[in-house]
Structure 1
């Protein structure tokens, strides 16, 4: 691993047929990785393929983890490898950036034929150079912040994030309205408190006595209140 790879903070995970060491499949996969993918990955990315994982552990778990966590995935559809399509389907379901490539003459399955795929030919220098340009452009675009992954999965099943955002917006609106209501109530309480002395002073002595709490009433006020009740002038009876 180079110093550049050690300092990279993003991952480009390669899904491809690998095969056993010494087989034509492994030889082809190594050449694609060396002469195509590695030359096109944007700066700051570390390229990882399943057989290059050096960490101990269960390889299938590590592959699934990388499919989920990688910033971008390059999927080589050459030879219609079942493992590749299985892993590609997981990536599609996760709605994360993926770029498809395939060897010249390869057949793209109907379900993903509509997805843009970079065609390469390792035996033709001009075709390989064109594939490098197309893949580099696709990787830069797919790794950008504004890129929205497209696949048969995203087309058939709309992202649930919009519903979550709508619910979050509604909750924010409710909180805003509650905050406004709380401010209004507080203003009313302040205005009422300011008006209270005037209203209180306008009351008769007996009414003021009744509105006060018992602990705030003096003995003299109680005597005056009783006296007023007992000796209140009676209305003329006709």
Structure 2
């Protein structure tokens, strides 16, 4: 199959319109068309792909990898959603559009990102009823404490898809928040590599046990096809980043 024969990426989730912009070290760029692999879906072409970059590295983009790696949290969001890391504002905007969501609080520590969003006006693209749910605060994900009940915590503050110590970092955040549910970026890979390190199969039982061992109220493991997605993501994206001493299962 040649590139012109590949399908264009489509999602029923809201994706804002972005425009090129620079603030401090951050550079928001638009690419007319690019071939991208999904988090679990096959490669597809993306029209008008927006990417937020810093130091030549992409921190967030409107690729299928980025959207699919957050969509479980977005599609199952309800009540008060707390997001650590503003990024391009996609997850917050998509959550706000859900009728089950009553409020979205976004915590961002980088002043340049906050300044970029003042002109980017992502949330101005939402209808009034959704836009009014969103509140952005300047703060640190590791120190921010909840002043009201949080139904879902969605941390996304990391550059690499996999990083050592991520589970412990999410536990630190959750200790201050005590959310009813947690969905953190890259959690499928964390579940997979902890399961492999414990010599457990990446199947529904193994995934459920590893989620419980993380001592976090993870959103995802109760979904009927979640173990299959965890395995698919691990096969595509682990790339040798298993925990030390692990015999890779694939």
Larger helix fraction of residues: 1
TM-score by length of 1: 0.26
Bigger Rg, which one:
1
Larger strand fraction of residues: 2
TM-score by length of 2: 0.25
